[in-house]
Structure 1
Amino acid sequence: MLTTYAEGVHPVSRRPLGQLEAEVLAAVSAGGSIATAELLSRIPGDPAYTTINTILFRLHDKGLVTRERDGRQYRYRLAVDEARLVADRMHDHLRYASDSSSVLSQFVEVLTSEEVAELRQILEHRGKPT
């Protein structure tokens, strides 16, 4: 069955929920204490207010953000170290790969030259006393 769309109307492109959670976490991290309405302008793709609010409630339930009442709304703050959170997620994905060497190779292939230089510096200093 072929679906046609009226001129100028396109199907909504949806991103994976994990990606949206990551975008919301990054926006909360950059914003200090922030309300749902303020987050909307920081998330690309014009997500619905209710979608962002639902993500924030889930992140709160997971202990990743804290919230405090501010009138009729909540203000959210990051409750964890963002770098540690992302690193743990990356490590979890790598742990479950059947060929971690291939995954690492693919990962390095998409790094920018600046990211490669940062990674080299980190690896050179790994294990050395600071």
Structure 2
Amino acid sequence: MANGRRDERRQHGELVADVLAVLWESGEPMTARQVNAVLDKGLARTTTATILARLHEKGTLRRTPVPRGFAYEPVADEAGLAASRMRRELESDLSRDLVLKRFVSSLSADDEETLRRLLLKAGDESP
């Protein structure tokens, strides 16, 4: 049964990713009905509405009232969302230095160079 729960979480995670992809691709606020139509997965509109509402509660989406519901749009692009998740993970761990050390040591040489360049650039932009 534990494996069944893992599969359900994976499917839910994929669905959330699909919903976000639809919103990023759209570039404008969409209702649950509109998102559901683009997804075309045979889901109940209420399923899509629940996912959108939960993403709004987490701060991933902003919503605006429209007749008969809400329209949703992402608060950040895909890279911004990934950066926020990374920051939350880092902030939730007590051994921050160790987490950063392990993260940096797992980077490819190209990613290390990119990180160095970005850190230097950020340092130059500091007051």
TM tier, smaller: 0.5 to 0.7
Select 1:56's aligned residue among 52, 56, 73: 52
- Asked whether the 8 Å contact 1:68–1:76 carries over to 2, the reply is no
Structure 2 spans left out of the alignment, 5+ residues: none
Query: Structure 1 residue 104: deviation in Å?
Result: 2.0
Structure 1 spans left out of the alignment, 5+ residues: 4-10
2:8 partner letter = R
Q: Matches of residues 4-23 of structure 1 in structure 2 within 5 Å? A: 11=4, 13-15=7-9, 19=13, 23=17
Q: How many residues align?
A: 116
Query: Structure 1 residue 97: deviation in Å?
Result: 1.0
Change (3 A) 1:88 1:58: same
- Asked whether the 8 Å contact 1:28–1:39 carries over to 2, the reply is no
- Is the aligned partner of 1:122 residue 2:118? yes
1:37 maps to which residue? Answer: 36
TM-score after normalising by structure 1: 0.55
Change (3 A) 1:62 1:15: closer
Identity of aligned residues (%): 30
2:93 maps to which residue? Answer: 97
CA-atom RMSD in angstroms? 4.1
Query: Structure 1 residue 56: deviation in Å?
Result: 0.6
**Offset from partner CA, 1:66-114 (integer Å, 9 cap, x none):** 24547x7754322x23455543432232122122223223434554555
- Asked whether the 8 Å contact 1:66–1:77 carries over to 2, the reply is yes
Q: Tell me the distance in 2 between the aligned counterparts of 1:119 and 1:22.
A: 29
Name the structure where helix makes up a greater proportion of residues: 2
TM-score after normalising by structure 2: 0.56
